[in-house]
Structure 1
């Protein structure tokens, strides 16, 4: 008969398996898979090159950059006045549900519910060059 602790650990491992994660495995995403996510879901409005604003701001160097500061892009008041720096947690929350993470944003993307896809996309965004806080 399993102890309560053993049953709890087994339940935790089962939940992690359902989420696509297992104990001891990094939750870091794949930049290569994130590049595919970017092209499929973000590339219509965003570019991944310096000074390449489009419908949305360039995402080159977004990781580590203060929100609302890509040169030459006119941000919504929600992002322009956000006052935070884009990090893994902020990017993940914004990619999950942009309107909940930044009420008043003009980004029309409905969000990416899959945590693994978000982790991949964040890994890709981190690979795009240094941010300018």
Structure 2
């Protein structure tokens, strides 16, 4: 593996839920990724953290809802297969989550997709301070 591609230990990816992290593309656009467990090799998949139906975040910071091996969209309840990313029900039927290539090596998940560079654990805004507004309503 190349230096800087390690994301997290495999054991940190929950069996029922997701691991949220942020990567950037070659144009320095930050993108949230969710890592979810999958029954197929390598045992984990990475998806862009957005439902293709209405740009709803699947993991809003507390882990994506997973039911029977499917990722649940919190807005309309569409179910995406955790291994293939495909949806065959609800408003997102016929769509597929955009995937990001990862590999598992030496007990850790590594980013293997040359379209992205790993930035940090958590979402895009997780490292920014809260509002500094002094307005009161």
TM-score by length of 2: 0.31
In terms of fraction of residues, the more helix-rich structure is: 1
Which has the larger Rg?
1
The one of the two structures with greater contact order (alpha-carbon pairs below 8 A, sep at least 6) is 1
